[in-house]
Structure 1
Amino acid sequence: MSVHINAEKGDIAETVLLPGDPLRAKWIAESFLTDAFCYNDVRGMLGFTGWYHGRRISVQGTGMGIPSTLIYCHELIKDYNVKNLIRVGSAGSYQKKVKIRDIVIAMAASTNSGLNNLDFPNASFAPTASFDLFMKATQYAHTHQIRITAGNVLSTDQFYEHNPDTYKLWAKFGVLCVEMETAGLYTIAAKNNVKALTILTISDSLVTGERTAFEDRETSFEDMVAIALNISE
């Protein structure tokens, strides 16, 4: 057991899908995995392990934001020997061409978080995806005719911006969308020499103001989860 995960050794697979919402972890386990069991319920942050097409897979909720995500990623890596971390989450589009329900694969993650300033003072570490997982994801999407966009995303510490036009500068530099976790995920993966990838479904657009209804998100997330499960090792 670890501080925030009450699983026994061996309960968690080497590959873990990481939705922010613990109820989405439950939905993924119930909808896609066979013989799934719940290994964690500490603080309501549910985790499950089951089987997908003969491969053992775990799904762990992380909560929102880099600090919460890093707690679970650290313990999964250090205490449970996890090797592949795949975030499956939602994001807000910064580009007109990236529409709601589209899938974005994060090649890299910009951030306004001070996370890496602690380790790299007066410098800027650029956290990036695992090339291996990235290639598998893009190939799976192409083969199964799932439309994706790949590129840079923003991991922000502010869900509610003071200035609603802040996104426009990021958009000008080609950032595709905004979420809250990937820069932390890619950093801790690099530090510990494990693989990480973020796959996102666009739930709203800062460009058009469109937004998916909460109850529609599970069904619109199916392609994203399918990509994550089928690149799992």
Structure 2
Amino acid sequence: MESTPTPHNGAHIGDIAKTVLMPGDPLRAKYIADHYLEDVHLFNEVRNMLGYTGTYQGHPVSVMGGGMGMPSIGIYSYELYEFYGVESIIRVGSAGGIDPSVHVRDVVAGMGACTDSNFAAQYRLPGTFAPIASYDLLERAVAAGRAQGIEVKVGNVLSSDHFYQDDPNATATWQKMGVLAVEMEAAALYMNAARAGKKALCLLTVSDLPLTGESLPADERQSSFTQMMEIALSLALPA
């Protein structure tokens, strides 16, 4: 195998830690590296999908952008699991709150990920696959939040292929099934992890409520996302 085994990632074998935090925005990956990691080096800038490895409280951790939507995170997470020996990927992203119990600034952990995507068709299963998080990561994230005085709301999220939905009532229909929030990547990440026999968790900060129009002001988003980032970073430490 070549030392850089994929055209989408400039990392060499050994450049990436066993645990990777994966925001959608590569600039958020840079923010995490700049503000939380020590001894940082840039391992990828192919397509400007920035990736960094450093240490957090003395333990190796990597952070890399995953892009928008399931095709994008599907590529990057697959390659991390299959080509770079990554064991755990924690998505850290934003979401729109659906359930009435969810408010802006809340931190949500996706225990499961409903989806309107056809991503699972590739597996040719004789039924419907239910993408779920790795329980140990989920349990540790809830405990880490509690230790920081943060309630992590746990439940189903919706991973949608559509940011601009032609049916104006589509998102609201998921509310009756108790879905907490909508985002665009968790289901593909969970399926890739299941197929590879690896671990995954999706942590989300609620940035808006699409059914009411409420939205978190831009200048407050970073401080709210910080809580989610710190919970995710704790998962890179020994249990």
TM-score by length of 2: 0.94
Is residue 175 of structure 1 aligned with residue 176 of structure 2?
no
Alignment of 1:31-46 (within 5 A): 31-46=35-50
Q: How far apart are 1:218 and its partner, in Å?
A: 1.7
Aligned to 1:68: 72
Residue in structure 2 matched with residue 146 of structure 1 by the alignment: 150
Query: Is 2:59 the counterpart of 1:58?
Result: no
Whole-Å separation in 2 of the counterparts to 1:53 and 1:94: 36
Matched-pair contact (CA < 8 Å) for 2:142–2:151: no
> Residue 163 of structure 2 is aligned with which of 159, 170, 184?
159
- Please list the CA deviations of residues 210-232 of structure 1 after superposition, one character each: whole Å capped at 9, or x if unmatched: 11233432221001000000012
Pick from 21, 24, 33: which aligns with 2:25?
Answer: 21
Corresponding position: 1:205 with 2:209: yes
Count of residue pairs the alignment pairs up: 233
Aligned to 1:152, the other structure's residue is in SS state strand
Q: Secondary structure at the match of 1:89?
A: strand
In the alignment, is residue 89 of structure 1 matched against residue 93 of structure 2?
yes
Would you say 1:115 and 2:119 are equivalent positions? yes
What is the CA distance between 1:97 and its match in structure 2?
1.6
Rounded Cα–Cα distance in structure 1 between residues aligned with 2:69 and 2:17: 23
- Percent identity, aligned pairs only? 47
**Counterpart position of 1:106:** 110
**Structure 1 counterpart of 2:165, which letter?**
E
* Whole-angstrom distance in 2 between the partners of 1:122 and 1:114: 14
SS state at 1:175 partner:
coil
Cα pair 1:76 1:82 within 8 Å, conserved: yes
1:132 aligned to 131, 136, 143, which one? 136
In the alignment, residue 110 of structure 1 is paired with which amino acid?
Answer: C
In 2, Cα distance between equivalents of 1:87 and 1:34: 21
Alignment partners' CA distance in 2, 1:168 and 1:212: 20
Question: 1:152-184 deviations in whole A, cap 9, x for unaligned?
Answer: 000000001112221121010000000000000
Note if 1:226 corresponds to 2:230.
yes
TM-score of the superposed pair, with normalisation by structure 1: 0.97
Contact 1:95–1:207 (CA under 8 A) maintained in structure 2: no
Partner of 1:191: 195
In structure 2, give the amino acid aligned to 1:210. E
Matched residue of 2:214: which SS?
coil
Q: Is the 8 A contact 2:19 2:87 kept in 1?
A: yes
Q: In structure 1, how many angstroms separate the alpha carbons of the residues matched to 2:96 and 2:144? A: 24
Tell me the alpha carbon deviations over residues 74-112 of structure 1, each in whole angstroms, 9 at most, x when there is no partner.
111121100010000000000222001100000000000
SS of the residue aligned with 1:132?
A: helix
User: Unaligned 5+ residue runs, structure 1?
Assistant: none
Q: Say which is worse superposed, 153-162 or 212-221, in terms of deviation.
A: 212-221
What secondary structure does 1:221 align onto? helix
